[in-house]
């Protein structure tokens, strides 16, 4: 089947970092969490605000996207109560059919946290054909969700790391299965959107925050083909490009959805994508809506045509900030 799309809208947010932190026990702090706890109180809590996230989501809903995708870091230290509250938050913003999630490094902050996060948020993560309950002995990623003309392919780089490290890992098994899903969705004429937390671009994150398996991911995109890659992690609004057999693939990052004004990172934002056309002749408009300077509203601050009559062209692997 080849889809001809009149118009389909999907939005992207990332790095929610729901706060404030709950009260932690000494047992919970006796781990890597102590470094994150200190960092939160020294830095993050000064700039990450719940009301910022509320403003962003309120504005986003007025755009009536058909699908919302979230590329990880819903929580801060991946405690049991944080993970549960994040699940409750997800259920308040929409039906699992209309929201797709992949985890980030903060969602797997300590050993065992990744599986607990996936289990709690499973309805928002699972592939269309997966069972209602997650069989924990099975690998869940990559996932595939078909929504209208979209094939949403969720990848995970989420894993527990040592203190002062926030790296991600993308392994060979996941790469092989990603290629298979990309080819399958391509044969169906779908617009393939790949979700991943860490930026799959060399130099996009500092060495202790980088993604291990960047070359492996690039090879999967090159072999399987894709139309768009969305990521978070850096809390920056960025645009990169990867090669595939069908042309250059935009790789788009977004600021933290909770970042208030006055910090050294860009204020909270979301990207709204408007898709039309069909395979081989897609039109894709990317509009970024961001928190205003005074933090009292949300406004359009960037618009770019990624596919269409005036296709974006850049040298590889050059990066352009969307200013």
What pLDDT does residue 27 have?
52
- Digit-coded pLDDT (tens) for 264-278: 899 999 999 999 999
**Confidence (pLDDT) at 45:** 47
Mean pLDDT value across residues 304-318: 61
pLDDT at 35 over 70: no
pLDDT over threshold 50, residue 285: yes
User: Which domains are present in the chain?
Assistant: 4-20+49-126+134-321 (3.60.21.10)
The answer on pLDDT for 38 being more than 70 is no
Task: Kindly state the average pLDDT of the residues 87-108.
Answer: 95
Position 309 scores a pLDDT of 67
Q: Check residue 80 and give its pLDDT.
A: 87
What pLDDT sits at residue 312? 43
Confidence of residue 311 (pLDDT cuts 50, 70, 90): very low
Q: Give residue-wise pLDDT tens across range 130-152.
A: 888 877 667 899 999 999 999 99
For residue 300, give every residue at least 6 positions away whose Cβ sits within 8 Å of its Cβ, in sequence order, or none: 287, 288, 289
Asked whether the predicted pLDDT for residue 174 surpasses 90, the reply is yes
* pLDDT band with cut points at 50, 70 and 90 for residue 43: low
Q: For the chain, what is the mean pLDDT?
A: 86
Q: How far is CA 253 from CA 39, 175, 230, 233, 238, in A?
A: 23, 21, 6, 8, 5
Q: Is the pLDDT of residue 124 over 50?
A: yes
**pLDDT tens-digit map of 201-257:** 999 999 989 999 999 999 999 999 999 999 999 999 999 999 888 789 999 999 999
* Residue 278: Cβ within 10 Å count: 14
Q: Is the pLDDT of residue 317 over 50?
A: no
CA-CA distance, 135 to 122, in Å (whole number)? 11
Q: How many CB atoms within 10 Å of residue 93?
A: 16
Q: What is the pLDDT of residue 314?
A: 39
At 263, the pLDDT band (50, 70, 90 cuts) reads confident
- Mean pLDDT within 189-208: 95
Predicted local distance difference test score (pLDDT) of residue 322: 41
By C-alpha distance, which of 66, 47, 44, 57 is closest to 13? 57
């Amino acid at each position: 089947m080849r889809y001809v799309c009149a118009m389909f809208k999907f939005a992207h947010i990332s790095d929610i970092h729901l706060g404030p932190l709950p009260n932690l026990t000494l047992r919970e702090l006796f781990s890597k969490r102590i470094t994150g706890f200190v960092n939160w109180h020294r830095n993050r809590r000064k700039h990450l605000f719940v009301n910022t996230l509320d403003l962003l989501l309120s504005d986003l809903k007025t755009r009536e996207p058909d699908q919302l995708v979230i590329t990880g870091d819903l929580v801060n230290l991946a405690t049991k109560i944080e993970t549960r509250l994040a699940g409750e938050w997800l259920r308040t913003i929409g039906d699992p059919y209309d929201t797709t999630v992949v985890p980030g490094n903060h969602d797997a902050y300590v050993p065992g946290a990744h599986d607990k996060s996936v289990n709690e948020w499973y309805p928002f993560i699972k592939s269309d054909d997966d069972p209602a309950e997650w069989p924990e002995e099975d690998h869940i990623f990559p996932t595939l969700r078909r929504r209208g003309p979209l094939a949403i392919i969720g990848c995970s780089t989420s894993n527990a790391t040592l203190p002062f490290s926030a790296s991600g890992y993308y392994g060979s098994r996941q790469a092989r299965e990603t290629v298979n899903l990309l080819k399958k969705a391509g044969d169906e004429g779908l617009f393939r959107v790949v979700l991943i937390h860490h930026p799959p671009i060399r130099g996009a994150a500092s060495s202790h925050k980088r993604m291990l398996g960047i070359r492996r991911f690039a090879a999967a995109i090159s072999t399987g083909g894709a139309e768009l890659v969305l990521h978070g992690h850096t809390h920056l609004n960025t645009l990169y490009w990867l090669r595939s057999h069908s042309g250059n693939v935009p790789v788009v990052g977004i600021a933290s959805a909770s970042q208030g004004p006055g910090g050294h990172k860009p204020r909270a934002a979301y990207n709204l994508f408007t898709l039309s056309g069909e395979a081989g002749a897609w039109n894709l408009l990317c509009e970024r809506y961001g928190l205003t300077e005074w933090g009292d509203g949300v406004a359009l601050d960037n618009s770019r045509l990624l596919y269409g009559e005036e296709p974006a062209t850049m040298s590889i692997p050059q990066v352009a900030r969307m200013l």
